Amino acid sequence: MDELTPTKYRTLSVIVPVFNERNTVGEIVRRMRRVELPDLDLEIVMVNDASWDGTADILKAIEDSTVRVVHHAENAGKGAAIRTGLSHARGDLVLIQDADLEYDPDDWPRLLAPVLKGRAQVVYGSRFTGERRNMLFTHWMGNRFLSLVTDVLYNTTLSDMETCYKLFDRRVLDGITIRSEGFDFEPEITAKLLRRGHRIYEVPISYAGREYSEGKKITWRDGFRALWTLARYRFWRG
């Protein structure tokens, strides 16, 4: 993208996969609504991935002209929810937001700045360069290892491939088919963007990670899937 001629964007679509987050979903919507955006309309697409804990009732109560809710009949995973969200999103900018309060919507302007200035078409929020609640050592090691593997395989210098906060100019997603159903969405989209030659811009974000006792869902098995996904898309044109 020519840095001297930034694109005029109109709408930010925020896709929020939701599964059994009745304790946090109302608060995350409140935080998203209060973000002051620079000359952008906001569209929030909440994808309820067959929650059974009362989340659906809360989403029904907060749906309005800004917040659209889409429901899965069966639980399909984060990747499938994002795929559904993309099919409903109308914005020319797309941001992924978790519903669990680990990521703070107050960081959105920081993510948007490089794109609005014409410096990037893809921006990731790095949990390892900003303020954060320290995560378990095993989670830290897993995240850093997967980012290192990404850097080696795709000749880049990402510090946080697994971050939820991924912002896209919608055009970079054209022609990319997301096949992942679960948390392997993160390595898949990263691999496919890098393979297409897109340089990913990173900005520091805050992070308040949860523990499993607080509802964290990703496990060590997802780490092995991520590793396989990175290798698969490096050597297979899928």
The domain segmentation of the chain, as residue ranges, is 11-235
Q: Is 208 exposed, middle or buried (0-12, 13-18, 19+ CB in 10 A)?
A: middle
- Residue 178 corresponds to which tokens in the numbers above? 């997301």
Q: What is the CATH number of domain 11-235?
A: 3.90.550.10
CB crowding 152-191: b at 16 or more within 10 Å, else e: ebbebebbbbbbbbbbbbbebbeeeeebbebbbbbbbbbb
What value does the CA radius of gyration of the chain take, rounded to a whole number of Å? 17
Q: Which residues lie below 8 Å from residue 67, measured CB to CB, with a gap of 6+?
A: 29, 33, 44, 46
Q: Which residue has the tokens 């320290």?
A: 134
pLDDT band at 130 (very low <50, low <70, confident <90, very high): low
Interval 29-77: pLDDT, tens: 999 999 999 899 999 999 999 999 999 999 999 999 999 999 999 999 9
Whether pTM exceeds 0.85 = yes
Tokens 């709408």 belong to which residue?
Answer: 11
